[in-house]
Amino acid sequence: MAQVEVFTFNGFQENTYVLYDNSGECVIVDPGCYERTERDTLKRFILVEELKPVRLIQTHCHIDHVLGSNYISREFGLTVEIHEKEETVLESCVQVASMYGFTGYEPVEKYSTNLVEGDKITFGNSSLEILWVPGHAPGHVVFVDHESKYIVNGDCLFQMSIGRTDLPGGDHDTLLQKIKEKLFQLPDDYVVHCGHGPSTNIGFEKANNPFLK
Q: Are 172 and 200 in contact (CB under 8 A)?
A: no
Give the whole-angstrom CA distance, residue 155 versus residue 12.
Answer: 12
Q: Could you count the other beta carbons within 10 Å of the beta carbon of residue 171? A: 16
Quick: pLDDT tens for 113-156.
Answer: 999 999 999 999 999 999 999 999 999 999 999 999 999 999 99
Quick: pLDDT tens for 8-29.
Answer: 999 999 999 999 999 999 999 9
Going from N- to C-terminal start, the domains of the chain cover: 3-212
Kindly indicate the confidence band of residue 170, based on its pLDDT and cuts at 50, 70 and 90: very high
CA angle 116, 6, 31 (to 5 degrees): 55
What is the dotted CATH code of the domain comprising 3-212?
3.60.15.10
Give the whole-angstrom CA distance, residue 179 versus residue 168.
Answer: 19
